[in-house]
Chain A
Amino acid sequence: MDENGALVNVIGLEKRFAVSAGVFSRVKGYIHAVDDISFDIPLGRSLGLVGESGCGKTTTGKLLARLMDPTAGHIYLNDELMGRIDLAEIRGQELKIFRRRVQIIFQDPYESLNPRRTIYDTVEEPLRVQGTGILVEREARVVQLLELVGLTPAASFLFRFPHELSGGQRQRVAIARALVVNPAFVVADEPTSMLDVSIRIGVMQLMSELAERLNVSYLYITHDLAVARYMCHEIAVMYLGKIVEQGETEEMIKNPLHPYTQALFSAVPIPNPRRDRVAIGIKGGVSAPIDPPQRCRFYDRCLVGDQFCHDNDHPPLEDKGAGHRAACYKV
């Protein structure tokens, strides 16, 4: 842990993808998928990354799990086991140990589990790859984890295959697999968005409980603000590769500052037929961030932007009071 108690410090993280065109695949520009973002995740706390498709939230998650190499920037993990390491730099043996500390849970439990492997094989694999313990110990650990995620009695699940399980049960297997190596940090990419309403809350509650019990932090990626409200201590809103606003969850929901956040939050349907929700305006639609201009990324869609916003660089993410940060000149 660093002096501020942060488990993860992300500094100036960037990821660009080349866009090529023509017969010779000449590079005609770069998509700035993640564009110079910085944030901290305190130990045992969860950060929700929310935004629309293409805002860079999933890319950020993949960078933090080192499933992708960043173009620039640093991701420091302040780990009790490994000390302070820069994930952007590590290789070889260090990378392997790192895999034990940071895990990822994907959206679709139908795709993320190998259909030919039993539940036991799936959950035990990370331990085997990491060379943890002897067989009996690994078996005991798998049983322990299955029970922890509510797949009880574990013995009745061990030798079943994914197709024999429901979506909710599969996602529980994916959670068990992620937690079996005792990670400090888990990237959860829309883990409940494929699940039905009556199943979803159970999985959300399980994830929250386990985070508390095992002292795990989540980077919780979701497009669903209502889910983020229940899963995260803090929320960061992304727009075209930038974090435009970040703060404590309840503070963000009750008092969004950035015009994009206001539009996004006000567009969320409310489960109350008496409420006449009024959406806050926003212009046009999302474009791909191919070599975007230096000015505020949101300028073209913003209803309050003016000449100053047009003429200046993208605004910095600044504290606007109570630890609530926004990247906007008009706030």
Chain B
Amino acid sequence: MKDKPILSVRNLTMHYHTRKGDVSAVDDVSFELARGQSLGLVGESGCGKTSVAFTLLRLLPENAQLLGGNVYLDGCDVLALDNNEIRKVRWRGISMVFQAAMNALDPVYRVGDQIVEALQTHFRGLSETEARDRVTELFPMVGLDPSLMDRYPHEFSGGMRQRAVIAMALSCDPKVIIADEPTTALDVIVQDRILDELRTIQRKMDMSMIYITHDIAVVAEVSDRIGVMYAGRMAELASAVDVFEKPFHPYTHALMNAFPSIEGEKQELKALPGEPPDLLSPPSGCRFHPRCPRRIEACHRLQPPFEDKGEDHFVACWNPREVGNG
């Protein structure tokens, strides 16, 4: 982790304009990603995890307004690039696997041709034969038979489509791949295989990955480090083991206690009081304070700083849990 990070995100802040007012979707989010590392971003709907991904790729809708922060990909300031330059970053620098694989593939083109097109767009001078050879290489990596490349998306099952989309995201050999809930719509056996393939490829190609999900069990299995987001802010960021075993933040701790598992003895689950806030008018101070069992006076008034508690374990909390020597 002490190597120069491949991706560095600092104090990212982004709002969406709506008729009702500004939605504070991403607020002062910072994290780093090392080469070959996989970072899980976990949180509930509306916590800003997907908005962070869209900001990194500059795929924001028109009503989004970037209010501050920097994103450095291999030293290059992504947010400062013009529209032409950002196109070179997408796919080759950072590529993304979206949640809805059905919508990511064009139904009237053969699956293989869509990947060939992506390749030829990003590598000028690549012949069609060369591009097809690359697809023939990619398909087995994601568990698809190369003979399927001339089929149409409707001939694919949900799992096969998701695999094709992953192959497409890998095609331009990106430095960072962002996977946004890629297996959420899939059955558990298919999910398991795809996660396994994704993890194997990511390790083998020494690629960095940001894995976005609401599923704490999935994030435990795919991540080296985990960032827990709540209401547009990063609550805690640490190694996967530390997030699970030594969570400082009361929200992280509550999430862990609210997640059913089939492993081991049946643990009692504890519900979290209340609901995530409306980001049109987020709570003052720490955004978790209205639901927090450990809140103190400062939490109402002041936003807690996102600080390193040692061993690359970051947390934003005025009254963190005591977790041994963490």
Is there a chain A Cβ closer than 8 Å to B298's Cβ? no
A230→B269 contact, CB < 8 A: yes
Asked if B124 CB lies within 8 Å of chain A CBs, one says: no
A269 contacts B192, C-beta separation under 8 Å: yes
A205 close to chain B: CB less than 8 A: yes
Assess whether B62 is interfacial by the CB under 8 Å rule.
no
Asked if A83 CB lies within 8 Å of chain B CBs, one says no
- Whether the pair B45, A196 counts as a contact (CB closer than 8 A) is yes
Taking a contact as CB atoms under 8 Å apart, the answer to whether A269 and B218 are in contact is yes
Interchain CA distance A223-B216 in the complex, whole Å: 16
CB distance from B315 to the nearest CB of A (A): 18
User: Does B276 have its Cβ within 8 Å of any Cβ on chain A?
Assistant: yes
Residues of chain B touching chain A, judged by Cβ–Cβ distance below 8 Å, are: 44-45, 157, 159, 187-193, 195-196, 214-218, 220-221, 223, 240-241, 243-244, 254-256, 258-263, 266, 269-272, 275-276
Contact A273 B44, beta carbon cutoff 8 Å = no
Q: Is the CB of A271 within 8 A of B271?
A: no
The answer to whether A197 touches B214, judged by C-beta atoms less than 8 angstroms apart, is: yes
Which of B192, B214, B244, B254 has the most CB atoms of chain A within a 10 A radius of its CB? Answer: B192
A225 to B220, CA, bound (A): 17
Interface: A279 (CB within 8 A): yes
Instruction: Mark A197-226 against chain B: 1 for CB-CB distance below 8 A, else 0.
Output: 111111011000000000000000001111
CB pair B188 A273 closer than 8 Å: no
- Quote the shortest CB–CB distance from B41 to chain A (angstroms): 14
Contact between B260 and A230 (Cβ–Cβ < 8 Å)? yes
A310 interface residue (CB < 8 Å to B): no
Which of B223, B266, B269, B276 contacts A205 (CB under 8 A)?
B269
Q: Contact between B214 and A196 (Cβ–Cβ < 8 Å)?
A: yes
Question: CA of A87 to CA of B196 in the docked complex: distance in angstroms?
Answer: 45
Cβ-based interface call for A37 (8 A): no
CB <8 Å contact, B256 and A271: yes
Q: Across the two chains, which residue of chain A brings its CB closest to B189? A: A267
Question: Please, which residues of chain B bring their CB within 8 A of the CB of A166?
Answer: 275
- Chain A residues engaging chain B, CB cutoff 8 angstroms: 52-53, 166, 168-169, 196-202, 204-205, 223-227, 229-230, 250, 253, 263-265, 267-275, 277, 279, 282, 285-286
Contact between B191 and A204, CB atoms less than 8 A apart:
no
Q: Are B263 and A272 in contact (CB under 8 A)?
A: yes
Closest CB pairs A-B (n = 5): A269-B217, A226-B260, A267-B192, A273-B240, A196-B44
Bound-state Cα–Cα, A286 to B44, Å:
30
Q: Which of A264, A271, A273, A275 contacts B259 (CB 8 A)?
A: A271
Q: Are A198 and B241 in contact (CB under 8 A)?
A: no
Determine the distance from Cα of A8 to Cα of B215 in the docked complex, in whole angstroms.
35
The docked-state distance in angstroms from the alpha carbon of A106 to that of B265 is: 30
Q: Add 15 more A-B contacts to A197-B216, A272-B261 (CB < 8 A).
A: A198-B254, A198-B276, A199-B275, A201-B258, A201-B271, A223-B187, A226-B261, A230-B260, A253-B262, A268-B262, A269-B215, A270-B262, A272-B244, A273-B221, A285-B157
Q: Evaluate whether A273 and B220 lie within 8 angstroms (CB atoms) in the complex, with A197-B255, A229-B266 already known.
A: yes
Chain A residues closer than 8 Å to B262, beta-carbon distance: 225-226, 229, 253, 265, 268, 270
Q: List 13 A-B contacts (CB under 8 A).
A: A196-B276, A198-B258, A198-B275, A199-B272, A200-B258, A201-B260, A201-B270, A267-B189, A267-B191, A271-B217, A272-B220, A273-B223, A273-B243
